[in-house]
Amino acid sequence: MKSFLGGAGNVVRNLKALGCRVALVSVVGEDPEGKEISQMLSSLSGVDASLVVEPSRRTTVKTRFMAGGQQVLRVDTESTYPIGRDTGEEVKKAIQGFLDCCDVVVLSDYAKGLLGAEILNFAISQAKDEGKAIFVDPKGSDYTRYRGASVLTPNLAELGQATGCLVDGDEGVVAAARKLIDLCGLDALLATRGREGMTLVSAAGEVMHLRAEAREVFDVSGAGDTVIAVLGAAQGIGVPLSGAAALANIAAGIVVGKVGTAVVRPQELLRAIHQQQASRAESKVMDLPSAVEMVAVWRRKGYRIGFTNGVFDLLHPGHLSLLSRAAGTCDRLIVGLNGDLSVRRIKGQAPVQNEGARSAIVASLEHVHLVVIFQEETPISLLEALRPDVLIKGGNYRLEEVVGADVVKAYGGEVVLAELADIYKTNSRIAKITNGTL
């Protein structure tokens, strides 16, 4: 038989796997299972646990009987009545003792009798007094107990139970979230929606829907623990809430692909983020008809659209400086990239890197939103089709030299020459590389 820490213990395992130091306060019974939990926790380095023993209780144990990798039966032993007064006092002391050294407070409510109104009120008000963010994975129907917390992370069933609303679709989730934000005075609510992903709603009214990331799903149990652990850990190091939620969503997508209540390690998160960025970069490289459609969407949103063009072979700091200055003049930056044929035509020789490599590299830059490859000598047909609000070229050109400036000006667009810190020239670099002087 294998034993794992479950419930709040699984949140601890997740935090630990992320590299956090964790202090845990919980309650167990005076039984062998309580001792086993205590031993398991003390074997984890970087975890300080304060387990308050209440002799009248039974330690919560869930026994899963498996056959052929499937759970066929689960037997629970537990006491779920509220903890006694003395136990409560000890719990409060333990919380108080740990608060100083914490960056964030996570309250993992499994409705086993520990987090009643009094303990919650104490933990939240103390943490608030010390300026700590408080994340709660909630349970039950009376959420006024969580008043003053920063963020709640209910799943759909919990959101429905707490609000009495039918939480169906994006709008239902957002309406229920708003209700709880008002009721509990939250900064935000992150609703986890199983295979639908998650929705973050802030007190200021912003809504962010994150679609589920999982490719293969094996075991969804414990995904909620991973979500609150990643959310808390990321906020603890200053990641803004929207970014922390995006990380939690990626982590949940990883953990549901593992067997049992598993954890996510930083390397796995990083790998998933890199994959996501690579596929996002790939999707930024478009043919002209798709780019025209994308630009129409951006226009409807009122974005100012910028355009610059070039070969961008052997990307160097001069290119980066041009692209970041170009991005500073608009909301969405399109790069017209001279295709290999176009480069041969204007330079008489092929670029060092082909258009596939060059477009992938340029598209991987965060402030580049779209890359369109063109094979003509000039980007004029692109400018005519995309009609950017602003055309940007490096300051090494003079205004009258900028190809397409007349096209852009004719429809009322603007032409900007970006001042560059240093002028790098790819051709001279290539020459230096080939004659060995670089």
Ligand X SMILES: Nc1ncnc2c1ncn2[C@@H]1O[C@H](COP(=O)(O)OP(=O)(O)OP(=O)(O)O)[C@@H](O)[C@H]1O
Residue ranges that bind ligand X, judged by CB under 6 A: 155, 192-195, 197-198, 212, 214, 217, 220-225, 227, 249, 252-253, 256
Number of residues written out for the chain: 438
Under the criterion CB under 5 A, does residue 6 sit at the interface with Mg ion?
Answer: no
Return contacts of 143-148, CB within 8 angstroms, 24+ apart. 143/180, 143/183, 143/184, 144/183, 144/184, 145/115, 145/116, 145/117, 145/120, 145/121, 146/107, 146/120, 146/184, 146/186, 147/121, 147/183, 147/184, 147/185, 148/124, 148/184, 148/185
User: What does 29 bind: ligand X, Mg ion, none (CB cut-off 5 to 8 Å by kind)?
Assistant: none
331 is catalytic: no
Nearer Cβ to Mg ion (224/236): 224
Nearer Cβ to ligand X (231/365): 231
User: What does 326 bind: Mg ion, ligand X, none (CB cut-off 5 to 8 Å by kind)?
Assistant: none
Q: Which of 175, 110, 114, 184 is nearest to 145 (CA)?
A: 184
Q: What DSSP state is assigned to residue 73? A: E
**252, burial (CB in 10 Å: exposed 0-12, middle 13-18, buried 19+):** buried
Shortest approach of Mg ion to residue 137 CB, angstroms?
6
Shortest approach of Mg ion to residue 228 CB, angstroms?
8
Shortest approach of Mg ion to residue 419 CB, angstroms?
53
Q: Which stretch binds Mg ion (CB under 5 A): 37-45, 220-228, 390-398, 414-422?
A: 220-228
Nearer Cβ to ligand X (221/329): 221
Q: Which stretch binds Mg ion (CB under 5 A): 68-76, 196-204, 221-229, 250-258?
A: 221-229
Residue nearest to ligand X (CB): 224
Torsions phi, psi for 335 (to 5 deg): -110, 120
Q: Is the separation of the CB atoms in 75 and 63 below 8 Å? A: yes
User: What does 227 bind: Mg ion, ligand X, none (CB cut-off 5 to 8 Å by kind)?
Assistant: ligand X
Shortest approach of ligand X to residue 275 CB, angstroms?
16
Site for Mg ion in 223-262 (CB under 5 A): 224
Nearer Cβ to ligand X (163/426): 163
Shortest approach of ligand X to residue 21 CB, angstroms?
23
Q: Which two tokens stand for residue 432?
A: 């230096």
Count of residues in contact with Mg ion, rule CB under 5 A:
1
Give the residue ranges of DSSP H helices in 55-203: 85-99, 117-129, 156-163, 169-184
User: What does 222 bind: ligand X, Mg ion, none (CB cut-off 5 to 8 Å by kind)?
Assistant: ligand X
How far is 212 from 70, CA to CA, in rounded Å?
A: 23
Torsions phi, psi for 167 (to 5 deg): -95, 90
User: What does 274 bind: ligand X, Mg ion, none (CB cut-off 5 to 8 Å by kind)?
Assistant: none
How far is 426 from 53, CA to CA, in rounded Å?
A: 71
Shortest approach of ligand X to residue 320 CB, angstroms?
34
Nearer Cβ to ligand X (7/310): 7
User: What does 217 bind: Mg ion, ligand X, none (CB cut-off 5 to 8 Å by kind)?
Assistant: ligand X
Angstrom CA distances, 191 to 155, 274, 295, stand at 6, 25, 32
Nearer Cβ to ligand X (244/370): 244
Helices 8-17 and 32-42 cross at an angle (nearest 10°) of 10
* Tokens 């994340």 sit on residue: 135
Angstrom CA distances, 233 to 150, 239, 265, 392, stand at 14, 9, 12, 41
Nearer Cβ to ligand X (222/394): 222
Q: Which two tokens stand for residue 194?
A: 């199983």
Q: Which stretch binds Mg ion (CB under 5 A): 31-39, 79-87, 218-226, 231-239?
A: 218-226
Shortest approach of ligand X to residue 220 CB, angstroms?
4
Active-site residue identified among 225, 313, 389, 406:
225
User: What does 192 bind: Mg ion, ligand X, none (CB cut-off 5 to 8 Å by kind)?
Assistant: ligand X
Residue nearest to Mg ion (CB): 224
Torsions phi, psi for 209 (to 5 deg): -95, 130
Task: Name the residue type at position 284.
Answer: K
Residues identified as active-site? 225
Q: List interacting residues with Mg ion (CB under 5 A).
A: 224
